[in-house]
Structure 1
Amino acid sequence: MSVGLLALLDDVAGIVKVAAASLDDIAGQAAKAGVKAAGAVIDDAAVTPNYVHGFKADRELPIVGKIAWGSIKNKLLFLLPAALLLSLFAPWLITPLLMIGGAYLCYEGAEKVFHALAPHSAEAHEAGLEPAAVDPQSLEDQKVAGAVKTDFILSAEIMTIVLAAIEVPDFWTRAAILAVAGVGITVAVYGAVALIVKADDFGLWTATHARTGAGRGIGRGIVKAMPVFMQILSVIGTAAMTWVGGSIVAHGLYEFGLDAPEHIIEAAAHWAEHTFPAIAGFAGWFATAFVDFFFGLALGALLIPVAGYVISPAWKAIKHVLPKRAAKAS
């Protein structure tokens, strides 16, 4: 009896070791895949703080929390099963869907540039797309919805990159790696965003409560620096949104045989690498992002009138018809 019990315990210990090794492998694969998606992750972190701009300090963290929860749901409830199922049954659909998302990012980026250059015209365009918020709660809901929508596109790119980087053939292990990477990236991104948006409050507290003059001076410096930092981050976020969208669309066109944009981007990267050999890696990346940005900006500018005169009226007509049909059905 004791021999049998020892054998059973030995088997259990073996199973535990295998499970632990599997967990280590999942964590390692998730971290490795997450590094490959670093570019899109940085873009996500740069874009999000824009959505809490203009709100009271006590609403900043709740808004970030809502967006983070929306991001978790995007990744785990929608994108993870969709990515796995598409990779199994309809891999040909992944590129067109990513291109649609990339085009939306181009539109968002171009619309923000349009708002900066011609604010009155941009506000009229935005008013035609959706009703203006009439109270703080409505404005907050609109901002959160817009942020979660944009996060969905960036998360789709992140999850696709992670899925492509996974080297494990087993379906369930791939699903676990994708889930761990998705949650880990979300925590990292929105944790960084929370620190960024509360830095000015920390600076104010330090400026008034620090025990030394140097500490209070650091606090005042943080308070003075944060508005400039947030403006810079807003510019980076808009640029990132646009170049990521341009990159997705250009790569998708290449896969469909329309390779001119991709060749231009590659030529720009090679030129930069040869012109600045001392910083070849950075120069190539910057040239690629630069051309992606202007390609995305041009595409987004073309989509602004399409959104205003075609997509928005069509969507309003659909929303107007649906309640009538529901009423007739009841």
Structure 2
Amino acid sequence: MSGLLALLDDVAAIAKVAAASVDDVIGQAAKAGAKAAGAAIDDAAVTPKYVHGFSADRELPIIWRIARGSIFNKLVFLLPAGLALSNFAPWAIPPLLMMGGAYLCFEGAEKVAHSLGWLEAHPAEADAESDDPAHLEEERAKGAIKTDFILSAEIMTIALAAIPKTTFWMEAFTLAAVAVMITVAVYGSVALIVKADDVGLHMANTGRLGLTRRLGEGIVKAMPGFLWALTAIGTAAMLWVGGSIILHALHEMGVHLPYESVKQAASAMASGLGGPIGALKWLFTALMDGILGLALGLILIPIGLKLVTPLWQGLPRKLS
């Protein structure tokens, strides 16, 4: 009997350790995922355009296909690559972070430039001219998965840098949790956004109560403004996160002046205004990170449009 009780105690102890490990994985994944918020918001803001023009019954299947491609890329390609970097070439992570941050700055600045009329809108995709809905859906899905690959690479690299150095398997499970959580959050949100118009229209046309019909009409009318706000928030988040990544990566590589200058300036401005010092310091730091990101992105626009974009468009579309 005593042996059985000892065995049960051992099982309970193992269960507690396992539960603590799961909690650690989820906690670290949540913190690491929060660091990648800028890229994730951009992903959610960009994806709805890929289902534009399709019948309502094809919207969710297309989103599901893109989500499958996204999680496949994260778990099969990007997670092993991230673990290899972390364990065999950690010195390469800050430069890769800088590349990802620079891409975020470029994307955000390009959106700002388009909105201000400084750049012409992108030409229509060649596949948009297809008369075959099945072919168009195939091309759109492949294009979306290819674009998602860049954003997923940024998300996984940012998350990898935010994970405390632990064991190989803890890092692996944490990165896998980040991949699943981010993908579910992004494409679950995209599905809700895409179907909100249909839900609102259904409520407006078939609601039994006047309040239900008015609510449906309100949803339909609010969606264009909501999408504009989502794009604006995503752009601001890209510039902020991109600038912050650049500063932190430079700091880790031994170039301390930019990071320290922003930190000291934010502290001085927060102290000068009084009030909640911590919140103001964060706000001013984010604002300066965003301004830096915008300035860097504007500088990168000619390089991106003339060199990087043509090279990327020339790559095969099948990344999943």
Q: TM-score, normalised by structure 2?
A: 0.81
Secondary structure of the residue aligned to 1:278 is coil
Quick one: structure 1 residues 218 and 42, their matched pair in 2 at CA, closer, same or farther if it must change by over 3 Å? farther
For residue 52 of structure 1, what is the amino acid of its counterpart?
P
Q: Report the equivalent of 1:326.
A: none
Measure how far apart 1:236 and its partner are. Answer: 0.9
Alignment length, in residue pairs? 306
Deviations 1:117-173 (A, max 9, x none): 2376353xx68xx86753343345323422332232123212332x22x6xx43323
Quick one: structure 1 residues 181 and 308, their matched pair in 2 at CA, closer, same or farther if it must change by over 3 Å? closer
Q: Do 1:253 and 1:259's aligned partners in 2 also have CA atoms closer than 8 Å?
A: yes
1:142 aligns with 2:143: yes
Measure how far apart 1:228 and its partner are. Answer: 0.4
Q: Report the equivalent of 1:75.
A: 74
Mapped to 2, the partners of 1:314 and 1:182 lie a distance apart of 27
Measure how far apart 1:225 and its partner are. Answer: 1.1
Q: How does 1:285-296 map to 2 (within 5 A)?
A: 285-296=282-293
Q: Report the equivalent of 1:109.
A: 108
Q: Do 1:203 and 1:219's aligned partners in 2 also have CA atoms closer than 8 Å?
A: yes
Q: Which moved more, 1:73-82 or 1:210-219?
A: 73-82
Quick one: structure 1 residues 213 and 154, their matched pair in 2 at CA, closer, same or farther if it must change by over 3 Å? same
Candidates 255, 258, 262, aligned match of 2:259: 262
Secondary structure of the residue aligned to 2:254 is coil
Higher fraction of helix = 1
Percent identity over paired residues: 42
Structure 1 residue ranges without an equivalent (≥5): 320-330
Q: Do 1:72 and 1:182's aligned partners in 2 also have CA atoms closer than 8 Å?
A: yes
1:207 aligns with 2:204: yes
Secondary structure of the residue aligned to 1:83 is helix
Q: Report the equivalent of 1:52.
A: 48
Measure how far apart 1:7 and its partner are. Answer: 5.8
Q: Do 1:74 and 1:155's aligned partners in 2 also have CA atoms closer than 8 Å?
A: no
The alignment yields a C-alpha RMSD, in angstroms, of: 3.2
Secondary structure of the residue aligned to 1:207 is helix
Q: Do 1:101 and 1:245's aligned partners in 2 also have CA atoms closer than 8 Å?
A: yes
Quick one: structure 1 residues 144 and 171, their matched pair in 2 at CA, closer, same or farther if it must change by over 3 Å? closer
Q: How does 1:19-58 map to 2 (within 5 A)?
A: 19-47=14-42, 48-53=44-49, 54-56=52-54, 57-58=56-57
Q: Report the equivalent of 1:151.
A: 152
1:245 aligns with 2:242: yes
Q: Which has the larger radius of gyration?
A: 1
Structure 2 residue ranges without an equivalent (≥5): 131-135, 316-320
